[in-house]
Amino acid sequence: MSEENEFAPDCCVVGAGPAGLLAALLLGRRGRRVTVLERRPDPGGAAPAAGGSVIVQPVTLGLLDQVGLLGPASVGAGRLLGAEAYFAGSLAGRYRYEELADCPVPYALSLRPGVLLDAMLTELAELPDVRLVWGAEVEQLSGTGALTVRTAAGSQEYLPTYLLAADGRHSVVRELAGIAAEVTASDGAYLDAGVPIPPDWDELTRAHFGSHGYLLETRRGEDGLVIVWITDAGTAASVLDGPVEGLLKVWSDVVPRLAPWLTRHITDWDQVRRVQHFAVRAEAWTAGNVVLLGDSAHGMHAFAGQGMNTSLQDAVCLTEAVDRALSGHGTRGLDEFERLRRPYIEGLQALQATNTPASAAQAAPERERAPEFELLALGQPEIRPLLARAMANQARSGAAANH
């Protein structure tokens, strides 16, 4: 990036998580001048949960594949071939990705966010018009869109044409832009624990709905299995007050075939993680030159594993809309995306809330609490055309740049 344009880029992206870096990469590959501002002092720590894993669905893997990131991001990842759903102990449905029409890849992956971020940073380093600034604290946003950022070298003002806020559920940019948002703590409890993969495990996620709440057995990375228990706060408290054997009894009663394996590998509460989740609902996803991306617009609970999936899909659609706006086509694409996306996201958040009640008496019937496998695998139907159009345009931009 030339010195004269260094502080007046086409776009500033605040937040160097997966969604922010993907947005920067897509815009940079289209020849846009992009500055990424991240408050962490260096990329060494990657991002929150970099040492854990997330389930990335086929629709999102297909996007990563088209961008050239699927191979590098798959290092250390574990494959999932499908899922089974159980209601009150009885099999309610069995699904396989390979059976879905137009499924980009016949599997999901449990991948490590840190590996994905490293792959993105490697690609970004090849783009001359993309600049990353670490240790950057956003301090002020003026009514004209000027952004004041403080680093160890002092304060600097940026004048981006567009400002993408990918700085999480407690977004500083969102607050400075005057966009009101509800950030609501989940009423229910979330606990998980990892164990080695059992010798006879068949690469299927299994979701168990019942009076106990929701119990999930799925892959954690390449060589681990994670048990996730989401239940009401009262039921969780009755177990947390006692020895870890009480937790193991609940889990073993739900999944008897795993009982010996769980008892063998979980022996202490220190092996059990407890997480407080939050939902975010911003009153608007754009204001002036500010565009909210991912958790800044619509953070959600971990139930159904859609946080990173929806955020990466958002990044693809929104960078297409921002690129069109930068080309003089107006902000219609940004408005269209929010109109199509918001009802789906808020429906997901409502579904998550039915699985995280304050008490067992408030729990909904199992069939009302289960997500649709095809929607998780292939994404929201209304934005699939937007994703396809964005990636087709991205490919054309890349081909033009190579000639």
In Å, what is the CA distance from 303 to each residue of 19, 91, 124, 208, 366? 19, 20, 31, 12, 14
Supply the pLDDT for residue 50.
42
Q: Residue 360 — very low, low, confident or very high, per pLDDT cuts 50/70/90?
A: confident
Name the nearest CA neighbour of 159 among 186, 185, 140, 134.
140
C-beta separation of 192 from 226 below 8 A:
yes
Supply the pLDDT for residue 367.
80
Q: Residue 402 — very low, low, confident or very high, per pLDDT cuts 50/70/90?
A: low
Q: Give the C-alpha separation, 15 to 9, whole Å.
A: 16
Mean pLDDT score across all residues of the chain? 93
Strand partners for 181: 282
Portion of the chain with pLDDT greater than 90, in percent: 87
Backbone angles phi, psi at 164, to 5 degrees: -95, 120
The residue-averaged pLDDT of 363-387 equals: 92
Q: Give the C-alpha separation, 146 to 289, whole Å.
A: 10
What domains are there in the chain, each with its CATH number? 3-77+109-185+278-357+383-401 (3.50.50.60)
Give all strands (DSSP E) within 100-158, no chain letters.
Answer: 108-111, 130-134, 137-141, 147-151, 154-158
Supply the pLDDT for residue 48.
45
Q: Give the C-alpha separation, 119 to 46, whole Å.
A: 11
Supply the pLDDT for residue 47.
46
The residue-averaged pLDDT of 99-116 equals: 96
Q: Give the C-alpha separation, 236 to 250, whole Å.
A: 10
Q: Does pLDDT of 108 surpass 70?
A: yes
Q: What is the pTM of this model?
A: 0.95
How does pLDDT run across 119-133, given as a tens digit for each residue?
999 999 999 999 999
Lookup: tokens for 184: 């609501």
How does pLDDT run across 63-107, given as a tens digit for each residue?
999 999 999 999 999 999 999 999 999 999 999 999 999 999 999
How does pLDDT run across 294-320, given as a tens digit for each residue?
999 999 999 999 999 999 999 999 999
Q: Residue 46 — very low, low, confident or very high, per pLDDT cuts 50/70/90?
A: very low
Name the nearest CA neighbour of 114 among 154, 67, 61, 76.
76
Three-point CA angle 377, 379, 384, nearest 5°: 130
Supply the pLDDT for residue 297.
98
Q: Residue 4 — very low, low, confident or very high, per pLDDT cuts 50/70/90?
A: low
Helices (H) and strands (E) in the chain, counts: 14, 21
How does pLDDT run across 167-223, given as a tens digit for each residue?
999 999 999 999 999 999 999 999 999 999 999 899 999 999 999 999 999 999 999
Supply the pLDDT for residue 139.
96
Q: Give the C-alpha separation, 14 to 137, whole Å.
A: 9
Amino acid in position 8: A
Q: Does pLDDT of 29 surpass 90?
A: yes
Q: Give the C-alpha separation, 294 to 365, whole Å.
A: 30
Q: Give the C-alpha separation, 295 to 281, whole Å.
A: 9
Residue keyed to tokens 């009423």: 187
Q: Does pLDDT of 42 surpass 90?
A: no
Name the nearest CA neighbour of 367 among 188, 207, 190, 205.
207
